[in-house]
Structure 1
Amino acid sequence: MTDYVGRYGTPLYVYRLDEVRKTATALLRGLPQPSRLYYSLKANPHPSVVRELTAQGVHAEISSCGELRAALSAGQNPADILYTGPGKSIHDMRTAIRSGVRRFSVESRTERGRLGEAAETEASDVEYLVRINAPGPAAGSAGLRMTGVPSQFGVDFEQARAQPELFRARGRLRPVGMHFFPATNVADPTALFEEFRLSVETAAALRESTGFDPELIDLGGGFAAPFAKPGDLPDYSSLRESLEPVLDQNFPGWRDGRPSIAFESGRHLTASCGTLLTTVLDVKQSGGRTYVVLDAGTNVLGGMAGLGRIMTPAAVPLRVAGAGPEAAMAGQPPSQAVTLVGPLCTPLDVLSRSASIEPIEEGDVLQIPHTGAYGLTASLLAFLSHPPATEVVVDGTTEVHVRRLELTETPLKGVAR
């Protein structure tokens, strides 16, 4: 890590492709077989990371034209891409269709109509899944509930039962399946199984009430990972054994692809691959507190902290000899609690109000683990116009790619939406 800091400075993200491979292999092994796995690019759209997941047979789930460009540049077959999200404009849809995307998740009757208009305009046949807000919640806890509560996501279960026309072909549109995504960041494998079980049973109930026999059921995700702190990825290897009987009971032909079963994962696939390196700019005292000023703030990490969704980062000095973040924090308790802040000119630029860390000084480099998901691109990149962090992708000891994103002005004139 010190070599990378010497070459590229800080703040610096380092992504390890060997870790991406290991995590993808383990998750794929734990899913019912056969099934399809989508990678949610919102977690980390870096093309090198997406390219590695593509090589592992993982497809792309996208929610913007920017993510579409990243997926295509990473070698994704556009026919394998799933376009989701509750706010797809006609411009988004037409751009995706022109790029070869043929499968969308629709969140309402209005959005289905907009997709039909886009398909007619582009003279292309398009398939769609209806996203369902299933009843719930199931047992257990989650980072964020996406369904089972009032939500902008999907069509409520009772509304879907009352609108069987949503599941009927129309013009160039052909319905092929149902899309579920009940929760995120469910660390308990048993609780996640219950979420999937409820979704399978909801799909079966909709099949009976609407007469629609799905070709694809996307059960979504919820696979968890630590964020910016030490810890192990949850082990979901029991899902295959527990979920396959539920699928057998409700959709006996699923093992032969009638219907195909799909899952989605973002943070679980990429969180552990990333480490953020940041330099201590100052250590100062105020009101009995120790403030550590870093060159990485909420413009680099944790930009969603204001939404209450990002957990407090933990950091370890890079100078701890021979130890990575996990090993260093497993030793003796640190000697002081400090407030980690960034360089931005606002009191809101706080990464941690009570980080436990050994004594540090100006010039030290800290490493923050598990930042391969919801790191740089989930941050306040444009705030105060600091240059974004550099990103280095490595495979073992080999540097694969180095880049720094730049915010540029693009004059627009008469752009049709």
Structure 2
Amino acid sequence: MSADSGIKKEAPKHADRIGFPVEGQELTVGGVPVSRLAARVGSTPFFAYDRALMTARVERLRKALPKDVHLHYAMKANPMPAVVQHMARLVDGLDVASAGEMHVALDTGIDPATISFAGPGKTVHELSQAVGAGIIINMESFNEMETIARLGAELGVHPKVAIRVNPDFELKTSGMKMGGGPKQFGVDAELVPQMLKRLGDLGLDFYGFHIFSGSQNLREDALLDAQQKTINLAIELTKHAPRAPRLVNIGGGFGIPYFPGERHLDVEAVGEGLEALMPRARNELQGAEIVIELGRYFVGEAGVYVSRVVDRKESRGTIYLITDGGLHHQLSASGNFGQVIRKNYPVAIANKMDQAEDEESNIVGCLCTPLDRLGDKVGLPRGEIGDLVVVFQSGAYGRSSSPTAFLGHPAPMEVLV
């Protein structure tokens, strides 16, 4: 390779930037070298999650946010039972999005009243289980409310409910907008007073509001703007409620950096801004727990996806490292089945962390589609058969968000270290 190839002649900096240490030449997860983890798991590919990094993330957020703000973990980000068990000991509540997730949450032994169930399209079977378990159901429609009331009457209980509100604003610059305009999520804010009136007639146990406007945001000003509007909306809706809310979930939306040019969110700045908003919340929402619900922010940077190079080839001057993993395990890192502009997640060769990035490689998976790409034109040490490729930022929306049945390959293992 020529000296002017543009490849950096220095050791990879991924580990320092992402937070995983290096022992000798190897990346470590939970203090264990990745090659040793591979031997322990028994095969590649696999996901490895570092419990210490999750704990540190929660602790940092606790210090940054107002003391009376409660933290909930959104299990959809990573529903691995061991991860949920760990997170349940760190946070104040769990949010689930299916009966399957509800069972995992209940198995942690956490108080059912601290578990909330959100999501459109809940079946009667799921709602019946949620009512019987005594968890809080975030109602997404008038129809759902009527069904819950009927189930409560049949079971002889007063179901715990909150209203998921579709606000008339959105979280600006968010990676995924969950509120504002027509949405399949929640009840339009202007219809909530009517729903609250009907709720009072049905004998439901009203807990409060869940107001979520967006996710994956790295701008402190946008988050604080949405938090202020959310608190104002909750105060206005409370005027129509049959009783004072005991819980106001103001959503989350805290993002993590995936791509070049992105920076970590300044949570201390978010905490300072939220503290300035809290006096009004404490005064006008007295007795209500103010909840921030996060998933990706807690676990996303605490996980890696590891696959093994099974072939190396050159095609018309381009190097391909072919691994036993791919988009069927880590769909988002591949580009979600064809993003218009695909960007690389941070990647490295886990067993060559002390070597210079002296070769430009394409990391591809084992599937019969050109979309199966984990890294395009990445500066890496020379990759060989048997090397372990690691994809960072893989602790959230990885295995459970990917088409693991695609082409019949085995599902990847998971390990919490």
Q: TM-score range by the shorter chain?
A: 0.7 to 0.9
Cα deviation for residue 123 of structure 1 reads 2.4
Cα deviation for residue 224 of structure 1 reads 1.1
Cα deviation for residue 206 of structure 1 reads 2.0
244-253 vs 65-74, greater mean Cα deviation = 244-253
Specify the code of the residue in structure 2 equivalent to 1:110.
N
52-61 vs 245-254, greater mean Cα deviation = 245-254
Q: Deviations over 1:163-196 (max 9, x none)?
A: 442552513x122211111010111222211111
- The aligned residue for residue 143 of structure 1 is 175
Specify the code of the residue in structure 1 equivalent to 2:378.
A
- The aligned residue for residue 122 of structure 1 is 155
SS of aligned partner of 1:305? coil
Q: 1:297 to 1:109 in 2, by over 3 A?
A: same
Q: 1:245 to 1:166 in 2, by over 3 A?
A: farther
Specify the code of the residue in structure 1 equivalent to 2:74.
S
Q: Deviations over 1:344-403 (max 9, x none)?
A: 223332233343323212221112222111111111111122111122211xxxxxxxxx
- The aligned residue for residue 72 of structure 2 is 38
Q: 1:129 to 1:163 in 2, by over 3 A?
A: closer
Are 1:207 and 2:241 matched, yes or no?
Answer: no
Specify the code of the residue in structure 2 equivalent to 1:289.
T
- The aligned residue for residue 298 of structure 1 is 327
- What does residue range 133-282 of structure 1 map to in structure 2 within 5 Å? 133-137=166-170, 140-171=172-203, 173-208=204-239, 213-227=244-258, 233-252=264-283, 254=285, 258-282=287-311
Which 5+ residue runs of structure 2 have no aligned equivalent?
Answer: 1-33
Q: 1:187 to 1:308 in 2, by over 3 A?
A: same
Q: 1:252 to 1:283 in 2, by over 3 A?
A: same
Are 1:50 and 2:78 matched, yes or no?
Answer: no
Aligned residues of 1:227 and 1:371 also touching (Cα < 8 A): no
Whole-Å Cα distance in 2 between the matches of residues 169 and 263 of structure 1? 30
Sequence identity percentage: 27
- The aligned residue for residue 351 of structure 1 is 374
- The aligned residue for residue 386 of structure 1 is 409
205-214 vs 87-96, greater mean Cα deviation = 205-214
Q: Deviations over 1:291-325 (max 9, x none)?
A: 2211111121125712749953232112225x6xx
SS of aligned partner of 1:353? strand
Q: 1:169 to 1:34 in 2, by over 3 A?
A: farther
Q: 1:335 to 1:102 in 2, by over 3 A?
A: same
Aligned residues of 2:329 and 2:402 also touching (Cα < 8 A): yes
Aligned residues of 1:314 and 1:355 also touching (Cα < 8 A): no
Cα deviation for residue 162 of structure 1 reads 4.9
Aligned residues of 1:314 and 1:368 also touching (Cα < 8 A): yes
Whole-Å Cα distance in 2 between the matches of residues 374 and 229 of structure 1? 20
Cα deviation for residue 249 of structure 1 reads 2.2
* CA root-mean-square deviation: 2.6
- The aligned residue for residue 104 of structure 1 is 137
213-222 vs 343-352, greater mean Cα deviation = 343-352
- The aligned residue for residue 341 of structure 1 is 364
Q: Say which of 266, 269, 285 aligns to 2:314.
A: 285
Specify the code of the residue in structure 1 equivalent to 2:352.
V
Are 1:14 and 2:37 matched, yes or no?
Answer: no
Cα deviation for residue 275 of structure 1 reads 1.6
- The aligned residue for residue 410 of structure 1 is none
Cα deviation for residue 25 of structure 1 reads 0.9
Q: Deviations over 1:107-165 (max 9, x none)?
A: 11111112222222332221211111112235x41111100132111111222245442
- The aligned residue for residue 89 of structure 1 is 123
- The aligned residue for residue 165 of structure 2 is 132
Whole-Å Cα distance in 2 between the matches of residues 174 and 211 of structure 1? 10
Whole-Å Cα distance in 2 between the matches of residues 390 and 365 of structure 1? 15
Cα deviation for residue 250 of structure 1 reads 4.6
Which 5+ residue runs of structure 1 have no aligned equivalent?
Answer: 395-417
Cα deviation for residue 337 of structure 1 reads 3.5
Larger relative CO (CA 8 A, sep 6+): 1 or 2? 2
Specify the code of the residue in structure 2 equivalent to 1:144.
M
Q: 1:163 to 1:275 in 2, by over 3 A?
A: closer
265-274 vs 69-78, greater mean Cα deviation = 69-78
Aligned residues of 1:221 and 1:263 also touching (Cα < 8 A): yes
128-137 vs 232-241, greater mean Cα deviation = 232-241
Q: Deviations over 1:58-82 (max 9, x none)?
A: 3110011111122123332322211
202-211 vs 236-245, greater mean Cα deviation = 202-211
Q: 1:230 to 1:5 in 2, by over 3 A?
A: farther
Q: Deviations over 1:43-97 (max 9, x none)?
A: 1111221122121233110011111122123332322211111111110111223
Q: 1:364 to 1:124 in 2, by over 3 A?
A: same
SS of aligned partner of 1:3? helix
Q: 1:240 to 1:169 in 2, by over 3 A?
A: farther
Q: Deviations over 1:210-244 (max 9, x none)?
A: 67632211101101123499987423123333223
Number of residue pairs aligned between Structure 1 and Structure 2: 380
Aligned residues of 1:301 and 1:379 also touching (Cα < 8 A): yes
| TM-score after normalising by structure 2 | 0.83
- What does residue range 56-67 of structure 1 map to in structure 2 within 5 Å? 56-67=90-101
